[in-house]
Amino acid sequence: MISIRQFDERDWQATWRIIEPVFRAGDSYTFLPDISEADSRQHWIDSPLNTFVAESASGEILGTYFIRPNQPGLGSHVCNCGYIVSEVARGQGIASEMCEHSQRTAINFGFRAMQYNMVVAANEGAVRLWQKHGFEKIGTLPGAFKHSRLGYVDAHVMYKQLVN
């Protein structure tokens, strides 16, 4: 059983331990593998509209996500989110719970839709998960992601209308 709550300043070190290995791997996010902790924090915590953490009943942070407008101005009714689950907690449904939570949060913030801009096609688990939650592949960007091991791979734009 997990709970999802708003990020608190005291959560940074635990959050950094979760996101750092994912950024360093170079296989799912567009950040350079040598991104600094300060730049990671700026992107994950400081610039989004809000950031959340998923924690166990004992208070261990197992995952995190952010939410922000996908575009400014006339496109700001569509949000974008990024999700990361701790390596030790993968396969327990935490990403799924964060996805559901983010959709409710998006609606509460007044967003009408959610868009993932670059879902790496080689990350088949993520593609399946987002499809399970109602996201559609609305486009494929050929060779748009420079995967650390596979070279240039396709990336999908995935979209879900939240309210009509």
92-110 residue pLDDT tens: 999 999 999 999 999 999 9
Q: According to the model, what pLDDT value does residue 36 have?
A: 98
pLDDT at residue number 142: 98
* pLDDT over 90 (residue 147): yes
User: Which of 17, 16, 39, 19 has the alpha carbon at shortest distance from 28?
Assistant: 19
101 and 4 Cβ atoms separated by less than 8 Å: yes
Centre a 10 Å sphere on the Cβ of residue 156 and count the other Cβ atoms it contains.
25
- Arithmetic mean of pLDDT over the chain: 97
User: Where exactly are the structural domains of the chain?
Assistant: 2-161
Question: What share of the chain has pLDDT > 70, as a percent?
Answer: 100
**pTM for this prediction:** 0.95
Note the pLDDT of residue 164.
Answer: 83
Q: Summarize the confidence of residues 108-133 as an average pLDDT.
A: 97
Average pLDDT value for residue range 125-144: 97
**d(C-alpha 133, C-alpha 56), whole Å:** 23
Domain 2-161, second-level architecture: 3-Layer(aba) Sandwich (3.40)
Three-class SS state of 157:
strand
Decide if pLDDT at 38 tops 90.
yes
Residue 6, judged by CB atoms within 10 A of its CB (0-12, 13-18, 19+), counts as exposed
Q: What is the pLDDT of residues 52-88, one digit of tens each?
A: 999 999 999 999 999 999 999 999 999 999 999 999 9
Q: How far apart (Å, rounded) are the C-alpha atoms in residues 82 and 40?
A: 12
Distance CA 18, CA 86 (A): 5
Query: Tokens 């399946």 belong to which residue?
Result: 128
Is the model's pLDDT at 8 over the cut of 90?
yes
Residue 1: predicted pLDDT: 82
